[in-house]
Amino acid sequence: MLSGILFMLGTVGVLTRKNALLIFMSVELQLNAVNLALVAFSSGAAVVSHPNPALWLIPALPLATAAINLFWGRRLGRWAGWLASASVIVSFAVSLAVVSQLVAKPADDRLFLQHLVDWISVGRFVVGVDLRVDGVSATMILVITGIGALIHVYAIGYMAGDPRYGRFFSYMNLFVFFMLMLVLGANYLVLYLGWEGVGLCSYLLIGFWSEVPANAEAAKKAFITTRIGDTLMLIGLALIVFRFGTLDFEVVFGTAGTVLTKDAATAIALLLFAGAVGKSAQVPLHVWLPDAMAGPTPVSALIHAATMVTAGVYLVVRSHVLFELSGVALTVVLVVGVVTAVFAATCAVAQQDIKRVLAYSTISQLGFMFMAAGMRAYGVAMFFLVAHAFYKALLFLGAGSVIHGMHDEQDLRRMGGLRRLMPITFATFLVGALAQAGIPPLAGSFAKDAVLEVAQHSGRETVYVLGSVAAFLSAFYLGRMLFLTFFGDARSDRARAARESPPLLWVPLVLLAVGAATAGWLNVTPEGRLTGFLEHVTGFTPAGQGVAVAALAAVATVISLLALALTWWIYGSGRVDWIGFRERLEPLPRAALNGWYVDRAYDTAVIQPAKAGAWVTAYVVDARIIDGAVNAIGGGVKALADGGRQLQTGFVRSYALAVFLGAVAILVYVGVRS
């Protein structure tokens, strides 16, 4: 009752106030009301061992503001962005509070599990909306809300003046909601809800500027390509239900060892991994991510770099029990990771569009994460994920700042010399690039070294060598991007007229730069090691010690520095005619630029035949053969009936009458006989 009144009050508040702060308070009031109602109704339901009543707030806040901005975004004007950002910031604060409570618990009991309501309940198959926070999901929610908040604030400036400003923030908030559900879900179905939900938001945001047909096309391509993986994953879920009778993580992971044969585990793990390959844009389903850069840059930073695309890594880490039971599946993860890391890096080297460089770079870096997971170093994969979220979000937002400063110019060939005109952007971008290139003591070096170290440590020499090649290429394309953008002479009028972006844009850059510079230390100090914190979920992460590690790190750093020096010589020193150089190498750069023609191959081998097949099915099989048979039967009947034309009037009502009379006659006959 009370909750009802509170909710009404909150609704009235939202509808009447114009001030964003008041609206926010009203929303709070509504959420409190929902909370009361939930507590009141759930008392009789499930008994959950590790409740945390604040948990549901984390996803609920962005959901509430998403709804508000969807319907009243236009009326809110500028406030829409602030409202959206505030809700993510508060969500971040709640996450911090929850995680600190989690950390305060003894190491073997770090778990919150909250049952909200039953979602699906049919027979004995019950799926609840259950939220779960352990080390892995704690890490994820902090990344999502923390980096998400910075990107939201950045977007206030970046999207200013867009006619559908409120709509944009509604979708962004909705994305944060689904992403949080994805990582907080305590069973595979809630995870799948988030999984599909982020796909929806990705679709909406890639195609946000849908006036350009290519953007709409890219959005559709992203959704459909990932849905191929999602569908296989859905079959995986069906297989889990078939084996376990439930989708709860606790039950599945707790009993997997006794329930699953090795083959069954392989089947499930590979089907789940198919979902991960789609969502995380790994080979062979990577083709959607470069095109997804059609979305506004904050979208690329949040969805296509820091969070959504890492969902696949999260899925593998979360389900590592199943992957380990299989063994084979882990090898597949490793191979896909290595292949993707190297393949995408070769594509990144040749891109002309600054965002496409970053897109291929993201694909390659995600490959590194899968590499780590494939070698059972799940803690390292998560550590890489966190570090990458910082520096890749930074690089994207930095690129966004460049694009903004140059009035929507994205082509590297028309940039140059921006370091004097955009000093803050340059400084932060430099931090991000060096971080990813692996220059100590920035975040990326620790993360990348940890992966290479695991490879070396476990005797996988090939992985180590290929990983180092990818790392070299990675430093190379970053250096190339850095020199082409910020050094040398301005190569266009726009580059000469570029201006530094406003504070709303560069303040988040600075904060992210601090993160990208220091996140590496998360895994360095002995007491605060992230991998250690995750061990209760992921198991022990093997790591080398002492001199050997230092030597590996030194080798890796030298490789990166070599690559950077090479790019300086080609693109920065002015001594090499890099445009002529590129022309001499044709058609190699052209092939890399086009992603080695994978898209074209898919079009020829899959899409065109499929279209032809569908055409034949619809217009030959259906229209001619099946319907043709029907019409032939009709024609046959008609021919037969030509003799008895008196009966065949052609009026349907007389047929109906005949049937009716016939029925009556039979009835009477049967009635009389009995």
CB of 110 to another protein, least distance (A): 20
User: What is the token pair recorded at 61?
Assistant: 């806040």
> Comparing C-alpha atoms, which of 109, 190, 188, 179 is closest to residue 141?
179
CB atoms within 10 A of CB 490: 18
CB of 118 to another protein, least distance (A): 6
Residue 242 in the binding site for another protein (CB under 8 A): yes
For the packed helices 461-486 and 354-374, what is the interaxial angle rounded to 10 degrees?
A: 160
| Span 444-473, contacts to another protein by CB under 8 A | none
Residue 56 in the binding site for another protein (CB under 8 A): no
Q: How many CA atoms lie within 13 A of 551 on its CB side?
A: 7
Q: What is the DSSP letter of 649?
A: -
**Which member of 5, 15, 77, 125 binds another protein (CB under 8 A)?**
125
CB of 127 to another protein, least distance (A): 9
| Span 252-291, contacts to another protein by CB under 8 A | 255, 259
Phi, psi at residue 396, to the nearest 5°?
A: -65, -45
**Which member of 4, 423, 613, 635 binds another protein (CB under 8 A)?**
613
For the packed helices 165-184 and 135-158, what is the interaxial angle rounded to 10 degrees?
A: 170
CB of 636 to another protein, least distance (A): 13
Per CB under 8 A, the segment of 353-361, 415-423, 551-559, 650-658 that binds another protein is: 650-658
The residue whose two tokens read 């991510």 is 289
Indicate the burial class of 239 (C-beta count within 10 angstroms; 0-12, 13-18, 19 or more).
middle
> Closest CB to another protein among 244 and 396?
244
Per CB under 8 A, the segment of 231-239, 393-401, 482-490, 543-551 that binds another protein is: 231-239
**Which member of 25, 142, 241, 328 binds another protein (CB under 8 A)?**
241
Helices (H), 418-529: 418-421, 423-437, 443-457, 461-486, 493-496, 503-518
Residue 217 in the binding site for another protein (CB under 8 A): yes
CB of 673 to another protein, least distance (A): 8
Q: What DSSP string describes 426-458? A: HHHHHHHHHHHHT-TTSHHHHHHHHHHHHHHHT
CB of 200 to another protein, least distance (A): 6
Residues 6+ apart with CB under 8 A from 348: 356, 357, 360, 361, 364, 473, 474, 477
CB of 323 to another protein, least distance (A): 21
- Residue 584 CA to residue 602 CA, distance in Å, equals 29
CB of 558 to another protein, least distance (A): 46
The residue whose two tokens read 């059972």 is 376
> Closest CB to another protein among 575 and 673?
673
User: What is the token pair recorded at 80?
Assistant: 């829409």
CB of 372 closer than 8 Å to CB of 381: yes
Phi, psi at residue 406, to the nearest 5°?
A: -105, 20
Per CB under 8 A, the segment of 76-84, 289-297, 471-479, 648-656 that binds another protein is: 648-656
| Span 343-402, contacts to another protein by CB under 8 A | none
Helix H, strand E, coil C: the string for 265-307 is HHHHHHHHHHHHHHHCCCCCCCCHHHHHHHCCHHHHHHHHHHC
Q: What track of x and - describes contact with another protein for positions 16 through 55 (by CB under 8 A)?
A: -----------------------------xxx--------
Residue 119 in the binding site for another protein (CB under 8 A): yes
User: What is the token pair recorded at 206?
Assistant: 């890639």
| Span 75-104, contacts to another protein by CB under 8 A | none
For the packed helices 57-76 and 79-104, what is the interaxial angle rounded to 10 degrees?
A: 170
CB of 213 to another protein, least distance (A): 5
> Closest CB to another protein among 216 and 549?
216
Q: What DSSP string describes 56-96? A: THHHHHHHHHHHHHHHHHHHHTTHHHHHHHHHHHHHHHHHH
> Closest CB to another protein among 252 and 552?
252
- Residue 452 CA to residue 22 CA, distance in Å, equals 51
- Residue 304 CA to residue 68 CA, distance in Å, equals 25
**Which member of 235, 339, 507, 561 binds another protein (CB under 8 A)?**
235
Phi-psi region of 546 (alpha: psi -120 to 50; beta: other; left: phi over 0): left
CB of 389 to another protein, least distance (A): 25
Task: Give, in degrees to the nearest 5, the angle at Cα 205 between 201 and 209.
Answer: 155
- Residue 442 CA to residue 588 CA, distance in Å, equals 33
Q: What DSSP string describes 104-171? A: HS-GGG--EEEEEEEEEEETTEEEEEEEEESHHHHHHHHHHHHHHHHHHHHHHHHTTT-TTHHHHHHH
The residue whose two tokens read 């690329």 is 300
**Which member of 617, 632, 654, 664 binds another protein (CB under 8 A)?**
617
| Span 171-200, contacts to another protein by CB under 8 A | 189, 192-193, 196-197, 200
| Span 551-610, contacts to another protein by CB under 8 A | 610
CB of 161 to another protein, least distance (A): 17
**Which member of 5, 562, 626, 657 binds another protein (CB under 8 A)?**
626
> Closest CB to another protein among 47 and 579?
47
Number of residues that bind another protein (CB under 8 A): 75
Residue 114 in the binding site for another protein (CB under 8 A): no
**Which member of 601, 630, 632, 657 binds another protein (CB under 8 A)?**
630
The residue whose two tokens read 């999502």 is 144
**Which member of 72, 89, 144, 248 binds another protein (CB under 8 A)?**
248
CB of 246 to another protein, least distance (A): 4
| Span 496-515, contacts to another protein by CB under 8 A | none
Phi-psi region of 490 (alpha: psi -120 to 50; beta: other; left: phi over 0): beta
**Which member of 36, 37, 216, 593 binds another protein (CB under 8 A)?**
216
> Closest CB to another protein among 32 and 210?
210
> Closest CB to another protein among 65 and 170?
170
> Closest CB to another protein among 120 and 554?
120
CB of 298 to another protein, least distance (A): 21
Per CB under 8 A, the segment of 123-131, 398-406, 445-453, 496-504 that binds another protein is: 123-131
CB of 201 to another protein, least distance (A): 11
**Which member of 11, 101, 231, 594 binds another protein (CB under 8 A)?**
231
CB of 522 to another protein, least distance (A): 33
CB of 227 to another protein, least distance (A): 5
